[in-house]
Amino acid sequence: MEKIIEQIKAMLADDRIEEALAAVEQALAEHPDDATLLFWRGNIHMKKGHTSLAVSDYARAKNIAPDSPAAQAYAAAMDVLNFFNHDLYNP
């Protein structure tokens, strides 16, 4: 599994987002409850601007492995989603 994760990281570093997504999807087909793969798919979705898909992956990974980096990523994504500045919307 480490080799797959390293390949995904390398693809993302080279900005090959679609290729990284395909690789993580293929790995998840074989290991659907792998928290690390879910975390990385969440990162890819976040990079693509698909915040709701990223949050879903982070939440699922967090439920599988509560101490994983996905827990922090989930909290950060929720902070972004819950941000509301009354001064900007109600001058």
Q: What is the pLDDT of residues 39-71, one digit of tens each?
A: 999 999 999 999 889 999 999 999 999 999 999
End-to-end CA distance of the chain: 51
Given a cut of 80, whether residue 90 has pLDDT beyond it is no
Asked if the model's pLDDT at residue 4 lies above 80, the reply is yes
The pLDDT score that the predictor gives to residue 86 is 58
SS3 percent helix, strand, coil of the chain, rounded to 5, is: 80, 0, 20
Contact 57, 39 (CB under 8 A): yes
